[in-house]
Amino acid sequence: VLEFDINKIRSDFPTLNQTINGCPLVYLDSAATSQKPQSVINAITEFYTSQNANVHRGRHSLSEQATNLYEQARDKMAQYFNVFSNEIVWTKGATEAINLVANGLKKRLDKSHTIMISPLEHHANIVPWQIVSQQTGAKLVSLPLNKNGTLNTLECCEFIKQIRPTLLAITQVSNTLGNITDLSPLIRVAKEVNSLVLVDGAQGALHLKPDLRKLNCDFYVCSSHKMLGPTGLGVLYGRYEELNALDIYQSGGEMIDKVYLTHSTYRPAPAKFETGTPNISGVLGFSAALDYLNELDHGKIQRYEQKLFNYAAKELVMIEGITIYSNLSDNIGTLCFNFNNEHPYDLATLLDGYGVAVRSGHHCTQPLMAHLGVNGTVRASLTFYNTFEDVDIFIHSLKKCIALLD
């Protein structure tokens, strides 16, 4: 018996109700971007229909209203993560949030420092650190990874103790495999050796709803568009003193205190990182997404997602020739797999013919692909608006595709 009304939930997401190539859409690509509930779409339309004004600048009613709504969204984000509102910076995505931190730390780094990442990282949590390392001379090292794509907690803790990094930048959930890393022991050890910790929460923020005070990281990044909100908006959480200590990333209006022709002073965080007119409609859309998430019972969602995932995994395992790379426990609901030596693009294209949307390729994780010894994979990612019927159609269609390839 389902704990919540899946039909009601699906009716909130208009994109789900359509046919693709003559078949009902089975959307299994929420790890790339989630679909949006009608309330999010309405909030964006409402902003441009009757609330449009710039924030933080005007004394007129519309501007004050826009500013209030914009700042209330920040409060909601802070509450969601159990942190303070002035620890939340709006960015244009998780990618920009990581770049902001990487650039903000640059002046403090030299060749005596070490940045530590893991082989599970999305390119967004690798390339900015490579560039900072090249620019500052700081060493870039990677945690060891088990053959099966999981991190061994004890081994990683030992490694952190031995290397004593200045910064550990690590993902909460692998976007490719869906594997959840138990970050608490790693963060505890990192803190013992005085390392800063940045957590890439792009995949974890929706499914795990982390309490960032408890997690005890210094920085946490995520993207609105993977959490039912619009694209072009991300979040940087920073423990206040660490956030405020970062150097500015971009400069211009809004972030300043006083501007003289030769020099300027800046406002404290978060204002000093939000320069120029922000993505106001995006923030208001995301605010509606947070309302939507807050109305759902998170425990129920998690239990439902686990049931769906276990069902899909059980069916997939039984198909001959399928190799699954994802860990089947401690997973948010992502199945990463290949069929024999077939190209993942071919499988994804054939599945699309049956209305099934999956991702194929390296998923912006080329080092992980190299570790697994493949060029690419197929990735089916489930979330709470998917149904058991979606899984049945996916498995059934996959079998038909395989018959075509064989």
Q: Which of 200, 218, 242, 274 binds ligand PMP (CB under 6 A)?
A: 200
Task: Give the interface segment with ligand PMP, choosing from 87-95, 128-136, 185-193, 342-350 (CB under 6 A).
Answer: 87-95
Q: Is 276 left (phi over 0), alpha (psi -120 to 50) or beta?
A: left
Give yes or no for a contact between 343 and 351, defined as CB atoms under 8 angstroms apart. Answer: no
What's the CA gap between 206 and 285, in Å, rounded?
A: 16
Determine, following the binding rule CB under 6 A, whether residue 223 of this chain makes contact with ligand PMP.
yes
Query: Tell me, what DSSP letter sits at residue 88?
Result: E
Task: Give the interface segment with ligand PMP, choosing from 73-81, 91-99, 177-185, 278-286 (CB under 6 A).
Answer: 91-99
The residue (of 377 and 397) whose beta carbon lies closer to ligand PMP is 377
Give me the 228-267 binding string for ligand PMP, x by CB under 6 A, dash otherwise.
Answer: ------x---------------------------------
What's the CA gap between 305 and 381, in Å, rounded?
A: 10
Go through the chain and tell me how many residues it has: 406
Task: Give the interface segment with ligand PMP, choosing from 92-100, 103-111, 296-304, 331-339 (CB under 6 A).
Answer: 92-100
Q: Which distant-in-sequence residues (6+ apart) come within 8 Å of 26 by Cβ?
A: 354, 355, 356, 357, 386, 390, 393, 394, 397
Query: Tell me, what DSSP letter sits at residue 194?
Result: T
Q: Is 330 left (phi over 0), alpha (psi -120 to 50) or beta?
A: left
Determine, following the binding rule CB under 6 A, whether residue 124 of this chain makes contact with ligand PMP.
yes
CB of 120 to ligand PMP, least distance (A): 9
HEC profile of 244-297: HHCCCCCCCCCCEEEECCCCEEECCCCHHHCCCCCCHHHHHHHHHHHHHHHHCC
**Gyration radius of the chain over CA positions:** 22
CB of 94 to ligand PMP, least distance (A): 4
Task: Give the interface segment with ligand PMP, choosing from 47-55, 78-86, 179-187, 200-208 (CB under 6 A).
Answer: 200-208
Scan residues 336-395 and list those touching ligand PMP (CB under 6 A).
364
Give yes or no for a contact between 250 and 236, defined as CB atoms under 8 angstroms apart. Answer: no
Structure token pair of residue 325: 């790379």
Determine, following the binding rule CB under 6 A, whether residue 94 of this chain makes contact with ligand PMP.
yes
Scan residues 132-191 and list those touching ligand PMP (CB under 6 A).
171, 175
The residue (of 124 and 280) whose beta carbon lies closer to ligand PMP is 124
Determine, following the binding rule CB under 6 A, whether residue 332 of this chain makes contact with ligand PMP.
no
Active site residues: 364
3-state secondary structure of 370: helix
Task: Give the interface segment with ligand PMP, choosing from 118-126, 352-360, 370-378, 391-399 (CB under 6 A).
Answer: 118-126
Angle between helices 280-295 and 61-81 (to 10 degrees): 40
The residue (of 229 and 270) whose beta carbon lies closer to ligand PMP is 229
Determine, following the binding rule CB under 6 A, whether residue 203 of this chain makes contact with ligand PMP.
yes
Give yes or no for a contact between 57 and 63, defined as CB atoms under 8 angstroms apart. Answer: yes
CB of 82 to ligand PMP, least distance (A): 21
Give yes or no for a contact between 382 and 309, defined as CB atoms under 8 angstroms apart. Answer: yes
Q: Which of 169, 186, 198, 202 binds ligand PMP (CB under 6 A)?
A: 202
The residue (of 95 and 279) whose beta carbon lies closer to ligand PMP is 95
Task: Determine the size of the site formed for ligand PMP (CB under 6 A).
Answer: 14
Q: How many of the other CB atoms lie within 10 Å of CB of 291?
A: 16
CB of 212 to ligand PMP, least distance (A): 17
Give yes or no for a contact between 200 and 221, defined as CB atoms under 8 angstroms apart. Answer: yes
Determine, following the binding rule CB under 6 A, whether residue 93 of this chain makes contact with ligand PMP.
yes
The residue (of 37 and 230) whose beta carbon lies closer to ligand PMP is 230
The residue (of 267 and 371) whose beta carbon lies closer to ligand PMP is 371
- Residue indicated by tokens 């790890």: 31
The residue (of 125 and 287) whose beta carbon lies closer to ligand PMP is 125
Contacts to ligand PMP by CB under 6 A: 93-95, 122, 124-125, 171, 175, 200, 202-203, 223, 234, 364
